[in-house]
Amino acid sequence: MRCALLTHPTVESTERVGDDVIMRWVLRFSLQLILLTGPALEGEALWAEDSPDIVALIQFSPENPLQGGAEGISLRGGSSGWGQPTPAPLQRRGIIFMLNGAAPGSMGNSSENPPQFSLLVAPLLSFGNSSQNAKSLMDQGLQHLQQARYEQAIAAFRQALELDPTLITARYDLGLAYFSLNKFEEARQAFDDVHRQNSEHRFATYFLARLDLIQGNLEGAILGFQSLGGQKPVADELYYLGTAYFRKDDMQHAVHFLQKALVSTPADYRIHLLLGRAYQKLSRKPEAEREFALSEQHRSVYRQKSREILECNTLLNSQPLDSAVQQCRQLLDGVDPTKLVSLGVLLAERQLLDQAVFPLAKAVQLDPENYEPQFNLGLTYFKMKKYAEARKPLEAAVALRPESYDALALLGSVLFALGDDYQAAEQLRHAHQLRPADEKVKSLFFEQLKIIAQHLLAGKNYKESVAYLNEALSLRPEAADLQSQLAEATAALGDSAKPDQPPSH
């Protein structure tokens, strides 16, 4: 038996990150992996039916939340005091004038020429009704959008625009609904159409730059985010501008814009973490350590302020499950990675793993430089025993935070389950180096070394087997079976056998 899973979800309150559709930052759930053999730790344990040799105990924990941006800011056109007002789609004075009994250039009702009067009024009445119907459909679409019913929102906005193509707010919200479903090409078309109607629509510019960043057009993203400068920030464009430069490996510009981002949102966990990574790449170790410490501090403070997360948690604890999940989606789904991660983890805590995958995968796509969605998606797949799917996000998490014990241990477990023995040993070795006193990872690492050594012995590769056997015995000197295997391999090699370092694979 290679690997089995034991889960022990913990339901705890989490943090508030913002009120509206976009101003939500990434909530961190540091999910603690404990690997063990023998008895479980404190708390209830659900043991696998096949009595595993090695059991992984995973605990969801709301440790290290984060904060960002000003609260209550909407990216719906015209909904804030500093956004672009949506132009009125109709000029109605002529319509009202004629409906009151006089066409332009005439006075009152003339019975001498009624057909001309009716020809004027009838199409105008129809136009007015179409406009009202379009606005009604737009309002319906907005209700669907606010309740995370994106497909219904898209249908309503499209119908509204068929009746009145001048409704720029409906077109913007159509783009937002597509963006929320990760339908990025359709979202781009909608935001481009908004720009054609209003080239200074800052919210559309923001999302077009986000799309460029998601799709790897770093120069386009940089130009888009920079065009929003000089005014009050739309949202978190300075963070994403720093992210674009970070991906370009332009650390000087990344640091510059991340520092600017902290002026308006000093408690945003993501900014401190990415700034710390940029400082690391610049070999500015003291500043990097300071930023990492600040990120931890802000997680701890901000987790007290999550009204939406607490509300969702309460709903899940007190309402019928289907109703509670739908209401949680209304609170947390959308285009903000923070709340998407929060939603995914809250669902995973209740073993709704299939439903947890979508918001976590969506958060990964929207903000791939963020450790939290990558790690949580990998963990969720791990709990589903979808080890192949878990590998990619966990490898990304380790790349983002190479010293994360949780990510290293979990990736090592995944690779162990997949039979990628040498890569598993590499990750578990690193995790063991970080916490040498942790018996749980030590046990899994020992088992992995044994498997590799025995495979090498079976192939009569005695020299390499000696290296792995010696490393395994350094962890468990009392292992009699390994002592005899080492003696066998040494005898086969003769006096030339020496303990080598495990080769790199």
Angstrom distance (rounded) from CA 154 to CA 138: 10
Nearest to 445 by CA among 408, 481, 478, 418: 408
H or E element in which residue 432 lies: helix 421-434
pLDDT, position 342: 84
Return the half-sphere exposure (C-beta side, CA atoms, 13 A cut-off) of residue 186: 14
Nearest to 323 by CA among 307, 334, 312: 312
Is it the case that residue 260 has pLDDT exceeding 90?
Answer: yes
Residue matched to tokens 């909608």:
190
**What does the chain come to in residues?**
505
Is it the case that residue 394 has pLDDT exceeding 90?
Answer: yes
The whole-number average pLDDT for the span 421-443 is 94
* Of 504 and 467, more confident: 467
pLDDT, position 3: 41
Angstrom distance (rounded) from CA 271 to CA 274: 5
The answer to whether the CB of 426 falls within 8 A of the CB of 432 is no
pLDDT digits (tens, 9 = 90+) for 469-484: 999 999 999 999 999 9
pLDDT, position 403: 85
Structural domains in the chain, sorted by start: 115-200 (1.25.40.10), 433-505 (no CATH)
Q: Where does the pLDDT of residue 104 fall: very low under 50, low under 70, confident under 90, or very high at 90 and above?
A: very low
The whole-number average pLDDT for the span 356-371 is 90
pLDDT, position 370: 85
The whole-number average pLDDT for the span 266-275 is 89
Beta bridge partners of 67: 268
Percent of the chain past pLDDT 90, that is, above it, reads 48
**Residue 106 structure tokens:** 């005439």
From the centroid of its chain, how far is CA 70?
Answer: 20
Q: Where does the pLDDT of residue 251 fall: very low under 50, low under 70, confident under 90, or very high at 90 and above?
A: very high
The answer to whether the CB of 471 falls within 8 A of the CB of 449 is yes
> Angle between the 353-366 and 337-349 helix axes, to the nearest 10 degrees?
160
Nearest to 254 by CA among 268, 233, 275, 235: 275
The answer to whether the CB of 401 falls within 8 A of the CB of 371 is yes
- pTM equals 0.62
Burial (CB count <10 Å: 0-12, 13-18, 19+), residue 249: exposed
Dihedral of CA atoms 339, 344, 349, 354 in degrees, nearest 10, equals 160
pLDDT digits (tens, 9 = 90+) for 212-231: 999 999 999 999 999 998 77
Average pLDDT, the chain: 75
pLDDT digits (tens, 9 = 90+) for 489-505: 888 887 554 555 555 55
From the centroid of its chain, how far is CA 56?
Answer: 24
* Of 377 and 147, more confident: 377
Q: Where does the pLDDT of residue 76 fall: very low under 50, low under 70, confident under 90, or very high at 90 and above?
A: very low
**Residue 362 structure tokens:** 């969506």
pLDDT digits (tens, 9 = 90+) for 291-348: 988 987 886 665 555 677 778 888 888 889 888 888 888 888 878 887 888 889 889 9
